[in-house]
Amino acid sequence: MEIVVTYENPNSEDSIQDNIVAEPVAEYRPTEKPPYAGTSINKAIKDYYACPTNKEKVSVLQWIVENPEFQVLKRYSTAENAVYGLNISQYDDILISGEMPMNLVIAQKLVANKFDVFLLSNPTSTKSADFVLRQNNKLYYVEGKTLDGKNSLDHLIEKGCEQSNRLVIDIIGTTKTNYIMKEIKNAFESYPVLQEIFLLKGSRLIQVSKKMFVAKTFLKSFKTVWNKNK
């Protein structure tokens, strides 16, 4: 199990990380030949769900992030990490409209926590998560949600699990520690497919793995980490 808290500048002296037994994510090797050359990103996403092993799923994600269709969205990136998008002219329209989609808000927060973020197009013909994340040669296929008071946390998690076994949730609709803690614990008990939740609290990133909730110290550990530097 694992909780990792990373502040906006993880390299500063104020950076704090709390680790409890890490659950590994398969690494990829960029030098390996991608097995999905010649297909479309949407087709690769569809194939991802059919892959029987984690190794094969990682191969699909590797091909996706190396696809030349992705371009850097410089306005949302930093010198160290980037947000990548498809058909980037659509993001110019977003700037003109003055409205920031929730997924872009989440992407910027993830970039601040040293992830590269690949925005997926969410095809209507198949289910799809919102992001592929890359950090330290590890890839994560992640569905994004925002808790803004319009939906309950358990509802967001239920819907998110239909897309991916890893979720990132931007918590902006409540500061109630006990509510967040209870719903996260209930989520891992109720949805066997769920492997990990990335919680965003302001600029902080808190990663909670599946194995954490079975620990006797879960409630105390989560409350301690969640309440740090409110």
What's the confidence (pLDDT) of residue 4? 40
Q: Which residues contact 87 (CB under 8 A, 6 or more apart)?
A: 121
pTM: 0.81
- CB neighbours (10 Å) of residue 3? 20
What's the confidence (pLDDT) of residue 226? 87
What region, left, alpha or beta, does residue 226 occupy, with left being phi > 0 and alpha being psi -120 to 50 degrees?
alpha
What's the confidence (pLDDT) of residue 92? 67
C-alpha span between 7 and 191 (Å, rounded): 29
What's the confidence (pLDDT) of residue 97? 58
What's the confidence (pLDDT) of residue 221? 85
Summarised one tens digit per residue, pLDDT across range 87-124 is 877 776 666 555 668 899 999 999 999 999 999 987 66
Q: What ranges make up the beta strands (E) of the chain? A: 3-6, 71-72, 83-85, 116-119, 131-135, 138-147, 166-171, 196-201, 204-209
What's the confidence (pLDDT) of residue 96? 57
Containing 92, the helix (H) or strand (E) segment is helix 89-97
What's the confidence (pLDDT) of residue 124? 67
What's the confidence (pLDDT) of residue 211? 77
C-alpha span between 118 and 132 (Å, rounded): 5
Task: Mark the ranges of the chain whose per-residue pLDDT is less than 70.
Answer: 1-39, 92-100, 123-125, 214, 229-230
